[in-house]
Amino acid sequence: MKLRSRSTRSNNVFSPGSLHGVKLYWNEPQRALQLGKKRLPSDVRTVGQMRALLQDRVFAAGAPSNRGLYYMHRGVCMPRDAKLFARFNIRYDVMVFPKGSLGGELSKTFGHYHPPAVFKPKLSYPELYEVLYGEALFLLQRRGSAESVLVRARAGEKVLIPPNWGHVSMNARPSKTLVEVNLIFPDFKADYKPYVKNRGASHYVLANGVAVKNPHYGKVRLREVSARDWSPKWLDVKESIYALFLKKPGDFAFLRDPRLLARGRALPA
């Protein structure tokens, strides 16, 4: 099935961005993403998979189990770029949140931590996000501490997930589709167990933007920052992370070895 190759809001088919000059197209009714003329395969996270993590219990009880909440497209790239991504063992993903909310709560991801990449010092694999279309909130929480940070990111802004931080991303504007992309080292399995145990992240962000503490956590300190204030200054550029990787793929070796962040790249304050 092909999507219509033009940007139009009347039928909910539009282009949130492009890769190497080739446009992506999202079809909201069909929940389908296309790169140029190619429809991309996706994995979908459903209400049934996330029911226990939702703040709005009325919505959680009544929503169909098979309702798709967000759509993950892994290993997206232009064919001519595939060898470069494979050579450096880095993956580029596209995630789409359709319009809407989870009842009284913002639409969100499941939430997870990454496993350790190195043990001396103990540092988990980092990850790098960019908002391609819409506006996102990233709720980060430092593993083993009472510190959480809510990072707001608009289209074009980048968010670094530092070592040892768990994260949930949310669609900050339910009336608009959110499209975010990421670069990640693919050879590990995410750890979802702490989020399952605690029925979500440290806070639930309601559809009105208010952050409500999750009662399954103890005392937690939450601060709110912008993406520009959170992420290192070298990420405050207009170029996309896709273009940056193509230009200097070696600069992203920190995704495999987080010790490089501490040595040559500043971590968020």
> What is the CATH number that goes with domain 15-258?
2.60.120.10
Rounded CA separation 268/56 (Å): 32
Q: How confident is the model at residue 11 (pLDDT cuts 50, 70, 90)?
A: low
pLDDT averaged over the chain?
93
Q: What is the pTM of this model?
A: 0.93
Question: Domain-by-domain residue ranges, the chain?
Answer: 15-258
| Structure-model confidence comparison of residues 119 and 60, the more confident one | 60
Q: DSSP for 20-66, please give it.
A: TTEEEEEETTTTEEEETTEEPP-EEEEHHHHGGG-S-HHHHHHS-TT
**Sorting pLDDT into bands at 50, 70 and 90, what band is 9?**
very low
What tens digit of pLDDT does each residue of 24-37 get?
A: 999 999 999 999 99
Asked whether the predicted pLDDT for residue 3 surpasses 60, the reply is no
Q: Reply yes or no on whether the pLDDT at 136 is more than 60.
A: yes
pLDDT digits (tens, 9 = 90+) for 252-262: 999 999 998 87
Q: What does the pLDDT look like over 80-89, one tens digit per residue?
A: 999 999 999 9
pLDDT at residue 111 above 80?
yes
Statement: residue 138 has pLDDT above 70: yes
For 110, the token pair is 């499941």
